[in-house]
Every structure is written in structure tokens, then in C-alpha cells.
Amino acid sequence: MRTKLKNSESVVLLVRPHWLTLALPSLYIIVGVILGVLIGPYGYFIPLVLLCYLWYKIVQRNNNLWAVTNLRVIDEDGVFSHNSKESPLDKINNVTYSQSIWGRIFGYGDVQIQTAAEIGSTSYYTIEKPKELKDTITQMQEEYKKSQIIAQARELANAISSGTNPQSKKDVSDEIEKLFELKQKGILTEEEFTAGKKKILGE
């Protein structure tokens, strides 16, 4: 991966186009060899050219990747150039995937990511591990939201407990984290979570 990671950022999952995307260029080599034999001495340039084409497709596949980190989804491609696009986890609205019968057998499929940005939605076709990609993005979104809530709770605890007993800061932060976990489990609604947080903060 050529995109530089941010501080405290780590790659959770890395996927590429499925190896079947190389099947057709590989078939071209076989056909090229047959044609080369039939045409004669100069015909051997055909498989040579097709071999260069296969090399190009291999490099293209290696450089065409999607990386899920704890902060964003990075989409890279390019052989002689480098193109990179990123979708922050908090801007992704929905992730779906689909697999045909053959896709389920060989482990490939299509993934669509819908974001709140101007791009709207982006579809990726014939990629490896489509379900794992979708599940990983969803999981990292939940963990990102949780980390944001925890960070906000600590900031609030520091703000309202400035100059007081340090233990009270920890208590406020812990109580808000507990409320958030209850909301994540479906025990509390968004309204109940907000009301509980205000009560803890004395608002």
C-alpha cells in the first residue's frame, strides 16, 4: 500500500480484485502461443506481446486494493500513476455486497459503499472477500463510534471536573461509557442515552 497512514492508524483488512481477473489474460497467452506456432518465426512476437500484457495486468491487480483501517477505507489503483481515494468511517452510510453462485464457489463478489460525500456511492466489482470487506467496515464503524464517545466522555469529564478530585473525572467518564455500551446492546434508546448523559453531567 502506497498511501501513508496517519498517526495511530492501522490496517485491519486489505483486499484486491479476485485472481480470476487474471484468467482471461492468461488464456490469451495460450492462444498466442498456438497462433505463433501456426504463423511461423515472426509469429512468436504475438505471445511475447501478450506476456507483457499479462505482466501489466498482474501489476495492475497488485496495485488495485482496498484497505480498511480504524479510521477510513482507502481505495488505491494505478500502475504508472498512483490514484488514491478515501472514505472516512463516519461518512459511510451503508455497505452492501452481492455474490453470484460462481462468486460463492470461488470467493469473489461485488461491494457497494454509499457515503455522505459528493461521490455518493461507489461500486467495486469482482473483488476477493466481499463479505469480509463489508463486515470489517461495519465493525470498524462501530469501534470508531465507540472510541469517539469515549474520547468525548473524557473531555467532558475533564471540563466539568477541572480543579476537583481526579477520581470524579474518572467516574463521569466511566458512567458515560457504560451508558454507551447499553445503547450499543439495544438496552437503551438514543433518547434514553442522551437523557442519561445529561443527568450524569448535571445539565
pTM of the model: 0.74
What does the angle CA 56 – CA 62 – CA 64 come to, to the nearest 5 degrees?
95
The count of domains in the chain is 1
Residue at 54 is within a domain: no
Residue at 149 is within a domain: yes
Residue at 151 is within a domain: yes
C-alpha grid cell for residue 157? 469529564
Taking residues 95-116, report their average pLDDT. Answer: 93
Give the range of the structural domain holding residue 149, as residue numbers without chain letter: 139-201
**pLDDT-wise least confident of 33-37, 101-105, 106-110:** 33-37
pLDDT tens digits for range 41-65: 777 888 889 999 999 999 999 999 9
| β-sheet with 92-98: strand ranges across | 92-98, 108-115, 121-128
Residue at 196 is within a domain: yes
Residue at 118 is within a domain: no
Residue at 117 is within a domain: no
